[in-house]
Structure formats: C-alpha cells, structure tokens
Structure 1
Amino acid sequence: MERWSTCGEAWIGLMRHVWTTGVAGLDDRGPVIEAPPRLFEMTTLGWDDPIVRAYGDTEAVARYTAKFTRTDVVPPFKYSYGARLRDLSGVDQLAWVIELLRARPWTKSGWISLTVPGERQDAVPCLAALAFRVRSSRLSMTATFRSQNAFTSYLNYLPLRSVQLEVAGAVGLPAGTMRVFVDVPHVYIADTGAVTAVLARAAMRGAA
C-alpha cells in the first residue's frame, strides 16, 4: 500500500498511476483512461496543501464542499454526500457511528454505506462507503470509491477530512490517517491535457 505525507502528493500519485498504467475505456461522460485499483494512505490533509494551492481548481472548492455539507443536490452533481451521510432513509449515519464508537471504541463495525439498493442507475455515488476505526488512540477513516476521477480526486479527499475530524472530535480523539481505496481510478480523455500539465509542473517542482 502506498503512503503519502499529504493530500497533494496522493493526488499527483493517483494521476500518475492512471497515466502510466491505464488503458482506454468508456464512461457515460465520454472516453476515459482507466487504471487498476489503488489503495493508499494520507497523513496530512488541508486546503493549505502547497500542491493543491499551486495546481488545484480554486473555483471548484466551494462546489465540492457543498456536496459534502449540504443535504440538497448541488448542480451539476446527481446526489448529495451530505444527505447520504446525515439523512439516508431518515438515518443520520454520522451520529450513528459516533454513538457506536463511544460505546465500543474497539469495534470493527463502524462502517456506513452511501449506496441504496435499487436506486437510479445513473445516480449511484462514486463514494460507496466510509469505515471508522479507533486504534492507537486515534480515529482513522477508510473511504471506498467504486470509481474516481483522478484529476479531481483531491476535491473529495479534503471535505472527507472534515468528516473524519468531526467524528474524531465527537469521540474525543485526534484524527489519524485517511485510507482510500479506489476500485476504478480514471481520467477523462477530455482532461488529459490538463492532467499532463499538472504532472509536468509537479515533476519540475520536485526536481528543483
């Protein structure tokens, strides 16, 4: 498993993985480069990440943050992670997992699903589940993505860190690492020019 110090490093690493190992594929939004599954950890996540600040899309930050915090659907998205975390079939899943972790801090059952059986086929969320675990007096979190656009992946990881911090604070512990599993990492062909530009600039930055 890969281990990255920062979210920005993980973002570059996932794009590079797709770029170097991917093959041609197809998505509802058009052709893609599709790579094998990837599992990795990040230690430090924040919007002040130097790589994210240098190469990220600042105009998209508010939109993706709203996707995780608001319970209504924010265009152009087809679903709300905020609703699936806090009001899925009438259940506040974060409150549920916080209660579980307080009662049984050793538990391996701190797992919540963001999918709904039989839901619209064009609105199945990319983020399928979150798992929370208390180990070594820290609250770690695993995010499982059925699919993920590597080019915009950091815009999901950073709001997810806020979710992890919320749960950690509620159980009175510091946040540990964030682990991410992506079953189908990909890049849209339409974004390949932007992806190669970021990878080239990051490589030059690393060589400097």
Structure 2
Amino acid sequence: MKVRASTLDDLLNEVFRRLIASGQETYPSKGKAFEVTGVVLELTNPRARMSRTEARAVIFSWLGEFLWYLAGNDDFSFIRYYIKDYKPDYKGATKVMAAYGPRLRAKNKDQLKWVVDLIKKKPDTRRAVIPIYQPKDTQANLPEVPCTCTLQFLLRGRRLELITHMRSNDAYVGLPGDIFAFTMIQEIIAMALNVEPGRYKHLVGSLHLYDADRRKAERYLAEGFQKKVAMPIMPLGDPFPQIETILRFERATRLGRHPRIPTDLPVYWQDLARLLSIFRAGKDDASAAMLRNMRKRMHSDAYIAYIEMRQQKAEKRETVPAVSAPELPFGVAPHA
C-alpha cells in the first residue's frame, strides 16, 4: 500500500479507509486487528503534521511525547504526565525500557547533533542513520521493544528528507503521534543545516488497525475533510540552544513551578512553551477565563482550535460539575 498526501489528516483518511476496506485479519497478542504489510506513506508537507479533527486534536500529548524524546529521557512519570493511559513495563516500573529518548540523545552521544555534523561535512552522505531498534531489543520476554527501527536523513536538492522505518505501527494510536514527532525532528535538523524540510516518508512493515479502535476510526472518517493548517515555520539556524531552554521550561512546568514564558525565545518556541502552560493549567482545573487569556497571548493562530477545546471543557466544568470522561488514547502510545 502506498499513500501520498499533503496533510496528516488527508494521509490518515486514506489509511483508515484502506485498512477498514481491505486489511487482512490478524490476531496478535493485543487482539484482533486489520493489517496491511509493506506500507509506504509520504507526507509532502511535513509541517502539516497536526490533526484538525475533533477526535484527534491531541497536540498537547504529542508535544509532550516529542519533548520526552528530545530530553533523552526514559522516566515513566514524565510521559505519564502527558499520557495518563500510558502503561508501565511492569508494576512499579519507573523507567520505560523501549523509550526513544536515550536512543536519540544519549549523554555520551547526541545522535541529532551527530547527524547535523555528518551532513555538514558530507552533504550527499547516505550514512546519516539513527538506529532506534538495537541488538538488546532482540532479547526474549521483553515487555516492550521499539516500533521504530531507523531514521535516515538525506539532503537532496537543498531539502532535507527523512525516511522512517517502522517494524510495526498502530494506525489509530501510534501513527499520528509518530509522524508529528519525527517531522518535528526532521525540521530541527533542517533548520540546523539552514535548509528546508523535504518529503517525509514513513515505511511500515506491519500497519494495523485494532478491531477495538475500528469504530473510532469510522467516526474520524465521518467528520469529513478538515481545514488545511500547517504549523508555523521553525526559525532558521542552530535550534539546540532554544531546545535546551524549552526543555528547562517544560520540566519546571510539569513539576508545577509555573515558570514565566522565556521572552528571549523566538515566538515559535514561545508558542510551544505557552501550550505547555495551557496544558498545566488544564490539569490544575484553571478557569475558562484564564485559558481564554492565555489563548490571546499566542502568536500563531494554528493552535487556537486546540486551546479552544480546553477552554470549552473548562466552561462545561464550571456550568455542570461532573467527572470528566477519559480522553481517547489516540496518537499517544509509541508501542504497537
């Protein structure tokens, strides 16, 4: 199966239709699923990485998971803060063995900076490959192993392409968040190289839709086509100092210290910091008025719809006190 689209929603729309129509029934350990093998997905505009559907507007979880990767972190408490349904490897686990962060940005080797340095030295290189799935993951009886095998970066025609190889991908739960995180990494590397991000290709050995998620996928399809809105353009130049600032801000926000938005950051990163503050405010049951004021401080309109959903939840809570229903676990689990 090959699917090419300009936005994440257009890509998912076609993927779900094909899996529902012609996916082969399989019965893996997590239950009945509909599978297509040897899949090639292409996103021609990597910045159009956000879903605009009501069922999938979970940018806060995706952003949190992306920053978990960038932090080189494998703490279970970190990701659980953003994804409350994230399952531990075993009862009482404080670390996630298959976490991508230490594989991308280990203390002794930052793979992202290594890719930048390699491509600067050898622009036509084919060796800019980050291995996520490693020999240690072949051990028997591991609770989870990475779904992602490799990330390969290719500078071609002054555009940086990224080819991601997945051994397995849950189309409803994992695929959207994976595309969000990996295209963000693609743009980070591109900006560090002073070039534009090119095509994003997502190669999947087993792309599947679990039967338990089939109705959710059908509801997504019933929403129809969405307005095409891309994320703003990341500032050109070395992004790593700004990334370290946003990671410090994220940690302080997650720990409830309520830091101020760093005004020395470009507005692109200020907006992402404010999204983190809005997520924290929502967890603290902030008023709709407070969320409305925070929304007004955003520089880009691209995120407004997501903030308004949080605001509407607060308004509903203020008018009809009730226990909130759990969020759909869409696009927030890295394991298939």
Do Structure 1 and Structure 2 share a fold, with TM-score over 0.5?
yes
In the superposition, relative to structure 1, how do residues 92 and 8 fare at CA in structure 2: closer, same or farther (>3 Å)? Answer: same
**Residue number in structure 2 paired with 1:170:** 192
C-alpha deviation, 1:14, in angstroms: 1.8
C-alpha deviation, 1:151, in angstroms: 0.8
Superposition TM-score, scaled by structure 1 size: 0.86
**Residue number in structure 2 paired with 1:17:** 18
Residue correspondence of structure 1 range 1-208 to structure 2 within 5 A: 1-46=2-47, 49=50, 51-58=51-58, 60-70=61-71, 71-73=73-75, 74-75=79-80, 76=86, 78=96, 79-87=98-106, 90-119=108-137, 120=139, 121-152=142-173, 153-202=175-224
Query: Deviations 1:87-139 (Å, cap 9, x if unpaired)?
Result: 18x42211111111000001111111101203353322111110000101111
Contact in 2 for aligned 1:21/1:36 (Cα 8 Å): no
Amino acid aligned to 1:167: I
Contact in 1 for aligned 2:119/2:128 (Cα 8 Å): yes
Amino acid aligned to 2:112: L
In the superposition, relative to structure 1, how do residues 171 and 45 fare at CA in structure 2: closer, same or farther (>3 Å)? Answer: closer
- How far, CA to CA, are the matches of 2:144 and 2:42 in structure 1? 27
Structure 2: 5+ residue stretches without partners: 81-85, 88-95, 228-336
C-alpha deviation, 1:27, in angstroms: 2.8
Tell me the SS of whatever aligns to 1:202: coil
Query: Comparing 58-67 with 175-184, which one deviates more in the overlay?
Result: 58-67
C-alpha deviation, 1:180, in angstroms: 0.8
Larger-gyration structure (1/2): 2
- How far, CA to CA, are the matches of 2:34 and 2:133 in structure 1? 25
- How far, CA to CA, are the matches of 1:183 and 1:57 in structure 2? 27
Contact in 1 for aligned 2:40/2:202 (Cα 8 Å): yes
In the superposition, relative to structure 1, how do residues 64 and 15 fare at CA in structure 2: closer, same or farther (>3 Å)? Answer: farther
C-alpha deviation, 1:201, in angstroms: 2.4
- How far, CA to CA, are the matches of 1:57 and 1:157 in structure 2? 14
- What is the RMSD computed on CA atoms of the aligned residues? 2.4
C-alpha deviation, 1:190, in angstroms: 1.1
- How far, CA to CA, are the matches of 2:19 and 2:179 in structure 1? 17
Structure 1: 5+ residue stretches without partners: none
In the superposition, relative to structure 1, how do residues 67 and 190 fare at CA in structure 2: closer, same or farther (>3 Å)? Answer: farther
- Report how many aligned residue pairs link the two structures: 203
Tell me the SS of whatever aligns to 1:177: strand
Tell me the SS of whatever aligns to 2:202: strand
Query: Deviations 1:144-185 (Å, cap 9, x if unpaired)?
Result: 111111113111111111100111111111111111111100
Amino acid aligned to 2:168: S
C-alpha deviation, 1:52, in angstroms: 3.2
C-alpha deviation, 1:42, in angstroms: 0.6
C-alpha deviation, 1:12, in angstroms: 1.7
- How far, CA to CA, are the matches of 2:44 and 2:196 in structure 1? 12
Tell me the SS of whatever aligns to 1:44: coil
- How far, CA to CA, are the matches of 1:61 and 1:67 in structure 2? 10
Structure in which a larger fraction of residues adopt strand: 1
